[in-house]
Amino acid sequence: MPTWFDEGYPHIWLPYAQMKTTPPSLPVTSTRGTRIVLADSRELVDGMASWWTACHGYNHPHITAAITRQAELMPHVMFGGLAHEPALKLAKRLADILPGDLDHVFFSDSGSVAVEVALKMAMQYWLNKGVSTRRRFLSFKGAYHGDTTGAMAVSDPEEGMHALFKGILPEHHVIALPRDEASTAAFDSFLKMRAGEVAGIIIEPLVQGAGGMLFHTPEVLQHIRDAAHRYNLLLITDEIFTGFGRTGSMFACEAAGITPDIITLSKALTGGTLPLAATVARTHVFEAFLSGEDSSALMHGPTFMANALACAAANASLDIFELEPRLAQVAEISKQLTEELAPCRDLPGVKDVRVLGAIGVVEMKKIDDLNALKQRFVEKGVWLRPFGNIVYLTPAFTISEDDLETLTTAIYDVLRTHP
C-alpha cells in the first residue's frame, strides 16, 4: 500500500531549507522515550529532543493524560474576557519557580512571539513613563532570539541566519559580550556614551544556542546585570533554550544569582508537546502599565493566547519536574557527556569540546558537507542536526546511559572518519 511519504512533499515548504537541493526529510511515524521511529521501522536514538523541547522524552504518559483530559473538557477558548484554570494555575506556578518578583505572566504561542512581546513591553515601559528617547536595544554578537522580524533585529546580524535582511530591519546595537578585558571595556564605554537611547539589554543567559552553542560565565551575566542597574536599563533574559533545567539549574539566571526585569520562556515549557510561550515581567515593569488610560495598556493578544491544551501540558510538565529527579539527571548527563566527548578533542579538525548541563558541543574548524554528515549519523542510528561548524547533543533528560553512549560514540566515530 502506498503511503503519504511515497509521493515526496510537493506541497510542503521546509524550515531553513533550500528547496531545490535539500535532501528529503526522514519519514517519521511515531516517537517513544528517546527514540524516533521511522516509516521503515528503523529507530533513531534522539540527540536533539526536537529542537530542545522534549525534556522528559517523548510520549510521557502524565502529559499525554493531561492533554487528553483537557481535550475532552475544553481544548481552547479565547483569552480576551475569559479565563480558565490551566492558565491561572500555570501562571502562578511559573511565578513561584522564577526568581524574585518575576510574577506577571503574558502567554503567547511561540518563542519568537514571546521575544516580540518582551521587546514591545520594554519599549512601552519607557513610553508609559514619558521617556521617548529610549528606542533601541542592546544585544550581543552570537545571539539568536527568533525568526520574526523584531526578534531578528536583535539577533547577530552577521553570524545568524538573518544577514540577508541587514538594512531592512530596525537597527539596534549588537556588540561583543563583555567576556574579557577588551570586550568589557568596549561594553562599558558603549553604555557610558549611548545608554540614554537604550530601552533594554537582551541576552540568552549562559548559552547562546542557535548562534553556535557559545558559553559564557555567570560573571558575564552579573556584569551585565550590574550595568543595566547602573544605567537604568531593562534586562531581558531569553531563556527559551536555557529554561527548565537545560544548563543544570531550573533557569540559567539562577546560576548567576540574577533576576532580569523580563524573561522569555518556551521550548521545554510544555515538555515538547504543544506550542506555548510566556513573557514574564517583574512587578515594577507590570506597574508601569497601570493607569487610568487605556493607551498605557499592553496592546498584544495572540488568538491562541494561553491555549488550554498547551497550558494543561505545561502544568503536567511542571508536575513531572516535581515528581521525577530531572536536575539530578541533568548533572549525570553532564558528567557522562564530559567524559565521553573528551576523546573528540584529539581528532583532527576539532576546534573545541565543551559541556554545560545537558548540552554537549563538538566545535569543528569547519564542516564542508553538513548534509553528508547528517546522513552518516542516521546510518549510525542516531538523530543529530549539526549546523554551521557545530555538532552538538541536547538529549532528553530521561535518556538512558546506554542511549547517551550510543550518541557520543556515533559522534566520535563519524568525526574520526569524516574528512
Ligand X SMILES: *Cc1c(COP(=O)(O)O)cnc(C)c1O
Catalytic (active-site) positions: 16, 144, 238, 267
With the C-alpha atoms ordered 92, 96, 97, 98, is the resulting torsion angle positive or negative?
Answer: positive
Residue 381 CB neighbour total at 10 angstroms? 14
Nearest in space to 276 (alpha carbons), one of 247, 305, 251: 305
The contact set with ligand X (CB under 6 A) reads: 110-112, 115, 144-146, 204, 209-210, 238, 240-241, 266-267
Q: Write out the three cell numbers for 330.
A: 541533568
Which residue has the CB atom at the shortest distance from ligand X?
111
With respect to ligand X, which residue has the nearer C-beta, 107 or 144?
144
Using alpha carbons, select from 239, 373, 141 the residue that is nearest to residue 362. 373
d(CA 204, CA 216): 10
Q: What angle do CA 222, 228, 231 make, to 5 degrees?
A: 140
CB of 274 to ligand X, least distance (A): 12
What are φ and ψ of residue 44, in 5° steps?
-105, 140
- CB neighbours of 268 closer than 8 A, spacing ≥ 6? 49, 52, 53, 54, 55, 243, 244, 245, 246, 317
By beta-carbon proximity to ligand X, the closer residue of 56 and 145 is 145
Amino acid sitting at position 81: G
CB of 265 to ligand X, least distance (A): 10
Shortest separation between residue 53's beta carbon and ligand X, angstroms: 9
**Closer CB to ligand X, 264 or 398, in the complex:** 264
Instruction: State in angstroms the smallest separation of the CB of 144 from ligand X.
Output: 6
| Distance of alpha carbon 262 from alpha carbon 137, whole angstroms | 14
Which residue from 394, 398, 411, 400 is spatially nearest to 49, judged by alpha carbons?
A: 394
Name the minimum Å distance from CB 160 to ligand X.
11
Nearer to ligand X, 162 or 267 (CB): 267
Q: Given the complex with ligand X, which of 210 and 233 has the nearer CB atom?
A: 210
